[in-house]
Chains A and B, each alone.
Chain A
Amino acid sequence: MKNIALLLVFTGSFLGYAQPNCFVYPEESGERKACELSYKAIAFQQGSKESQMLFDKAIAIGPKFAWAYYEKSVPYFKRGFLYEGLQILNEAVQLEPIEYLCYRAYWHWQYRNYELCIKDLESYYSLPKAYMQTTPGGEKDMRILLGLAYAKSGNYTKGITILEDCINSYESKDAVGLADYHSLGMLYVLNKEYDKAIVVLNKQLAVLKDMADTYYYLGLAHKGLSNFEEAAIQFNKSLETFENRNRFININAGFAVYPSDVKQELRAN
C-alpha cells in the first residue's frame, strides 16, 4: 500500500475504480456496446461535451452497465454539482454496490456529510465480498476514512478502534499508508490519550518527517502531559515544516492544521 501510494503521489496518476473488460460481455449485448462507448468517452477530456454525449449514448444502449454512470458522474462531483452527480452515481451503486459504494462515500466525505459517508462505508464493509479499497488517489484505505468520519461526528473511540484494526490488519508494516499513523495519533490526542499518541506519532515520523501536522499534534500530546518545553519544541518544528514548500500534504485527511493554529499554541504555551 505504501509503495502504491508513493507511486501515485509522485506520478499523480489516478487509480480508476475497477476498469472493466468489455470482452466479458457477449458480443452485440447492450453492456458490451455501452462498455465500448464508455471507453471512447474517457478518451475525451473529463466533463467535456463529447464525453458526456458518449456516456449518455452508452447508458441508453446498455442501462445495466454501471461503469458508464460512475464515469459520467465524476466531473459533476468535482465541479460542485453534488445533487446531479449523486443522481447519476446512485444508478451505479444500485447495480454494483461492491464497486461503487466506496466512491459515493468518498464524495460524502468531500462534501462533509459524515453521516452518509459512514452509512455507505458501513454498508460496504457488511458486504460478504468487501475488499480493500482506497480513496481515488490511492493515499488512504477507506477504513481510515471511515474512522476519521466517526471522529468528525464526535465519536473518537469508535474512530480509534477502526484505525487500530485497520493498521493491525496489514501483514507487513510496509502496507501501512503514508499518513495512517498520523491519523491514529491525532485521534488519540483528540481523545486525550496522550501517551498512546506520542508512541504512534513517533511511528509516523519514522515513515515521514516532513508533515507539519504531525509535529503539531505531537506538541499537543506533550502539552496534554504538561511537558511544555517538549511541546514548544514540537510546535516550532511544525512551523519550520510549514516553511518547506515540498512538505508532505496529507490529503483527504480532514482536521487540517494551519500555521496560525500552531502560533496560537506557542503563544499560549
Chain B
Amino acid sequence: MKKVRPLLFIISWGLLVGGCSNASKVKQEYRDQIGDTPFDANLDDGNFKLCDATNVLHKRAYVSYTGGIKAMEEELFSNYKYQSAYRTFTGTFIIRFLVNCNNEAGRYRMQILDADLNKITPPENLAAHMLAITKKLNKWNHAVYKEKEYDGYRFITIKMKNGQLVKK
C-alpha cells in the first residue's frame, strides 16, 4: 500500500494542475458557468459540502479573509518552508477554491505560470507545498450578496521569485 501512495499522489497532481487547462484547445465542452468546479474524488475532500450547490456565487470580491490580504499573506509567509531546490522557480501560483456558507474552503484547483505567463512545472514538491499552505488558511468569510448568504468561488495569487515569496 505504501508504494502505491506516491503514484496516486502524482496522478492526482496531474489532474489537479492539468484539469483546468483546456480552454486554449478547441474542445467544445461548456460548463454552466466558467469556473464551476464539480467534486472530483481524486482531488477533493468528500467532507466538504456546499450549502446550496444549485446557486454558487462567482463573485470573488464577496469572499473575504479576516484581516484582509495582509493577514492572509502573513500566514502564507510564516507557513512557507523554503528549500534550496525551489531557487530555480520564478512565477505565479493562481489557486482557485470554494468557500461554503459555513466558511469552510475546498475544491482547490491551481495554475502555475512563469514570469511570461506560460504554463510551467515547478520543482518537485513545491506545488504540493503551496497547495498545503493555502489549505491551512482558515479565516475565510463566505459571500453575502444582496443580503443573502452564498457558497462562493474565490482565488488567490501567490508570486514567487527565485523560490522566495513576494509580498503584494
Q: Do A and B bind?
A: yes
Taking the closest CB of chain A, its distance from the CB of B161, in whole angstroms, is 11
CA distance A47 to B155 in the complex (A): 16
Interface size for A (C-beta < 8 A) is: 29
Residue A165 at the chain B interface, CB threshold 8 Å: no
CA distance A184 to B119 in the complex (A): 36
Check A49/B33 contact, CB under 8 A, given A80-B96, A84-B23: yes
Contact B34 A79 (CB under 8 A): yes
Contact A260 B70 (CB under 8 A): yes
Residue of A nearest to B168 (CB): A112
Contact A112 B32 (CB under 8 A): no
Contact A79 B96 (CB under 8 A): yes
Determine the chain A residues whose CB is within 8 A of the CB of B119 once the complex forms. 83
Taking the closest CB of chain A, its distance from the CB of B150, in whole angstroms, is 15
Interface size for B (C-beta < 8 A) is: 34
Interfacial residues of chain A within 27-61, with CB under 8 A of chain B in the complex: 45, 47-49, 52-53, 56
Partner of B24, one of A52, A80, A87: A87
The A/B interface has a contact count, at CB < 8 Å, of 88
Contact indicator per residue, chain B 78-97, by CB within 8 Å of chain A (1) or not (0): 00000000000000101110
Determine the chain B residues whose CB is within 8 A of the CB of A47 once the complex forms. 33-35, 58
Determine the chain A residues whose CB is within 8 A of the CB of B94 once the complex forms. 80, 82, 111
Contact indicator per residue, chain A 233-269, by CB within 8 Å of chain B (1) or not (0): 0000000000000000000001010101100000000
Residue A88 at the chain B interface, CB threshold 8 Å: yes
Determine the chain A residues whose CB is within 8 A of the CB of B33 once the complex forms. 45, 47-49
Check A81/B23 contact, CB under 8 A, given A52-B34, A86-B117, A112-B159: yes
Residue of B nearest to A251 (CB): B61
Contact A88 B23 (CB under 8 A): yes
CA distance A142 to B117 in the complex (A): 22
Interfacial residues of chain A within 165-193, with CB under 8 A of chain B in the complex: none
Determine the chain B residues whose CB is within 8 A of the CB of A261 once the complex forms. 70
Contact B35 A75 (CB under 8 A): yes
Contact indicator per residue, chain B 43-84, by CB within 8 Å of chain A (1) or not (0): 000000000000000101000000111110000000000000
Residue from A49, A53, A79, A256 with most neighbouring chain B CB atoms (10 Å)? A79
The 7 closest A-B pairs by CB, nearest first: A80-B155, A84-B23, A79-B35, A47-B34, A80-B96, A49-B30, A87-B24
